[in-house]
A = this chain, B = another copy of it.
């Protein structure tokens, strides 16, 4: 009988050895200095061949177009992204494995298909796609931030449904990415693979999490489209931290069959899968492909909604109205976030027929009380048992979320019912809050001229120093409400503009703690993200609004 300690360390060694084998298959032999610090996003282009650097600088829609026109081959594309993913791993520790052989053979088939059929296989023909590791891949280990499942969990016999859908549309699944212990961190550290770092700061900062491997890999363009998951900010926080786009869709639009977690219909706060990409078009391509596959025939929890064309072009009669939440009345964001929001507001305010109104947050502190009470309704028992299985220690942010939150305890049935009813009540009240941005037409009973979307921070700061991401509410409130939310990049921190405020009064202790974390020197040149939020099932609409605004500012 091995000691517990030996068990988890041994599993981690095996997992990393497996990962390194798959990296070695690519045949990129480049040594990266351990001394590198600061922004390392420029490194891959220096180290890759011109061709690979050029291919990996393209956005998803360009790649599909060029491969479909046979200007470049799927094989060249796959190889270039595999090479760049190797570099990304060496720079940020973002991978759990590469799927080298699968990617190359898939690319060969795609090229052959095009040669014989003259039409691409689908809307993602030739596009490499990376996948967060708790989403199953046929015959590969399936862990979820913990050591024990890597060994003990049977390997899936088939790809997860979303992976099947992407593959049928012509995507080349080439990389699997890291995720933190418990999945419930807004950073990305596990005992299995260690810490994933931020491409813009190298070792100092977190890539964000829990989809931090995706964000770091895509931030370094080792992938241009990936699949993450989000129950409290896990797509949006890392997307913002690494300067990319990330969509948390409305629940039950993207299928989860074949992931490691429980069926989502049984969860009080539903974890969703969603796209992360270097481009907004990449986000939409993913959503369109998933909806077109009509996954509701396979996964009964999915709502049968096609991806709908939305016309949001504003006019004098129907202006586009954006509600701005400057801060949530609990924690004030760091200066660069507020500046970015102000600049965004200034720019969009000058677009004809766009109206910007200040929106009060509605009880975001209560939202966190409800959400945090519903995240671990077993008080974390199941998670503790999985850790005990291999003897792995709790990492600081796992300990914080499970043990430092008053809401997290094993609920009895009546407590669970209480929080579920609080959830429904909060959803109803927030809906009324949104309606109150407009006027009720008493004849029709409908609310008119309500805001079309909310713009707010993704988090109270940019990427965090390791083990400091403890304020979830800017993202988690939208999970509680099941509103679609889109993180988008909007410039970099500038220490000259974003000086630290000399605050003496705070809205809360959390506010003070967050204020202490800000350091203009440290955060200089880190990417800033903002969040656009829609009403439930308005996924199409928020993407269309951002596309429109990007075209006009």
| A residues whose Cβ falls under 8 Å from a Cβ of B | 164-165, 168, 257, 262-263, 265-266, 293-294, 296-301, 303-305, 377-378, 410-414, 416-417, 420-421, 423-425, 427-428, 430-431, 435, 443-447, 450, 481-482, 535-537
Contacts and interface: CB of A to CB of B under 8 A. Distances in A.
A168 B537 contact: no
Given A297-B435, A301-B424, A303-B305, 7 more contacts: A265-B427, A296-B537, A300-B482, A303-B303, A304-B536, A377-B417, A378-B413
B296 A536 contact: yes
B536 A445 contact: no
What copy number does this chain have within its complex? Answer: 2
A425 B296 CA distance: 15
B263 A425 contact: yes
14 contacts: A164-B445, A168-B443, A257-B428, A265-B427, A293-B444, A296-B537, A297-B431, A297-B446, A298-B431, A298-B435, A300-B431, A377-B417, A412-B412, A413-B413
Nearest to A420: B266
A415 B204 CA distance: 45
A138 to B, nearest CB: 14
B297 A424 contact: no
Nearest to A168: B445
A263 B426 CA distance: 11
A271 to B, nearest CB: 14
A482 B296 CA distance: 13
Given A294-B446, A303-B303, A266 B168 contact: no
A265 B424 contact: yes
A481 B300 contact: yes
Nearest to A444: B168
B417 A378 contact: yes
Contacts of A430: 300
A265 B423 contact: yes
Contact of A301 (B257, B305, B427, B443): B427
Contacts of A262: 421, 424
A208 B428 CA distance: 34
A450 B296 CA distance: 14
B428 A293 contact: no
A375 to B, nearest CB: 14
Contacts of A414: 378
A266 B421 contact: yes
Contacts of A304: 536-537
Q: Give 4 nearest A-B pairs by CB, closest first.
A: A263-B424, A266-B420, A300-B431, A300-B427
A378 to B, nearest CB: 7
A253 to B, nearest CB: 11
A365 to B, nearest CB: 20
Contacts of A305: 303, 305
B445 A165 contact: yes
B263 A303 contact: no
A403 to B, nearest CB: 19
Contacts of A425: 263
Contacts of A294: 446
A299 B447 CA distance: 12
A310 to B, nearest CB: 12
